[in-house]
Homo-oligomer: A and B are copies of this chain.
Amino acid sequence: MSIRRGRSVTISDVAEAAGVSRAAVSKVIRNAYGVSPGMRERVEDAIEQLGYRPSVAARALRGSSYRLGLETPHVNARFMTQIVEGAKRAVTGTPYQIILAPADGPEYGTLESLADGLVDGIIAVSPLVDQTWLEDLAKRVPVVMLGRHDTPQGYDTVIGDDHAGARAVMRHLLGLGHRRIAHLTEPEPVTAPGCGTPHAIRLEVYRACMIEAGLGAHIQIARRTAGADSAQSAAAELLTRPDPPTAIFAGHDDMAVDALAAAAGRGVAIAGYDNTDLAAHPLIGLTSVDQQGVEMGAQAATMLLERLQGRTEPRRYMSTTELRIRTSTTSVSPG
């Protein structure tokens, strides 16, 4: 049939084949009002016949692309899996689709490129991005942010209860009799005191719990090396300190799994955060905080759809947390 690449069938072809106007075809594909059953049928036949598929680019230019962009940072990838799963679930049955934009560096670039007219809305995990910058972004395109404890006015937030989750971990470890408990966390900018990221809060709670327990002198913090995928060396360093910890509270499961690798056979209790699928594996058996990532992803997508339907006042969703206790903490003693 067609010779040149891209010479695909357009709305005009369908209109011609069905003997109607392009506007009519447009109405049919959007389920808009003012279409008689007869016309609808003829148009749908023509669409079927010609294998017509609307151009996303053209639709986006004029109205909606029906694509929601989800920015996925490289770190903590296993938790993002849950988010993606939830988001996909939430758009099922709607005309919207989720597309993923992998980010590595500072997230400004990825977010901007998502906002460049490719998607109708954005879900992102960018704890460090400036709030005013985000408010500006949110003026151009609907935005839902994950893991931000700020109180925005132009976008929505979906967060876990980091205070409760971290406290549950600490209570658990302290209850087991551990005194030298260390915290393994993300590199500096994202854990700076008062910056309000989930990891900063978990760190603060760790500190507070240690002090409350009269263990201020045993506070030990290790950070994953910036740029390094693995937290294994950071955990290893922790374990070779003069007075090594008997327990490690890792900021998320990926780091906890790295810590397990570093601590293999040393009898160190390790707890993580996010309850990723791997935590339940019998060979891993990682105690972890379930913050219901799938539900968080679903909520984020749902909130975005609401904004697309016209809501403008900001909303905030906080998921509940539950500690899943497994052998990584129960099979070792405080030594």
Contact = CB atoms under 8 A, between A and B. Distances in A.
A4 B104 CA distance: 31
Interface stretch (A21-29, A213-221, A278-286, A317-325): A278-286
In the A-B complex, list the 6 residue pairs whose CB atoms are closest, starting with the nearest: A57-B60, A100-B100, A55-B117, A57-B117, A57-B61, A264-B282
B140 A5 contact: yes
A113 B97 contact: yes
Contacts of A81: 77
A257 B279 CA distance: 12
Contacts of A84: 102
B97 A100 contact: no
Interface in A81-98: 81, 84, 88, 97-98
Nearest to A258: B281
A289 to B, nearest CB: 20
A302 interface: no
Residues of A in contact with B, size category:
35 or more
A100 B119 CA distance: 13
A201 B84 CA distance: 31
Given A53-B112, A53-B116, A77-B81, 18 more contacts: A2-B139, A5-B139, A5-B141, A53-B115, A56-B57, A56-B60, A56-B117, A57-B65, A67-B118, A97-B113, A98-B102, A99-B99, A99-B118, A100-B101, A260-B281, A261-B283, A264-B283, A283-B284
Contact of A278 (B54, B56, B278): B278
A54 B88 contact: no
A102 B116 contact: no
A274 to B, nearest CB: 16
A8 interface: yes
B116 A54 contact: yes
Nearest to A57: B60
A32 interface: no
Contacts of A260: 281-283
Contacts of A34: none
A6 interface: yes
15 contacts: A53-B112, A56-B57, A56-B113, A57-B57, A57-B61, A57-B65, A72-B100, A84-B102, A97-B101, A98-B102, A99-B101, A100-B102, A260-B283, A264-B283, A283-B283
Nearest to A140: B8
Interface string A237-261: 0000000000000000000010011
A154 B60 CA distance: 29
A32 B113 CA distance: 21
Contacts of A117: 55-58
A112 B8 CA distance: 12
Nearest to A254: B277
A311 to B, nearest CB: 13
Contacts of A2: 139
Kindly name the residue among A84, A102, A257, A264 whose own CB sees the greatest number of chain B CB atoms within 10 A: A102
Contacts of A115: 53
A99 B115 CA distance: 13
Contacts of A100: 72, 99-102
Contacts of A284: 283
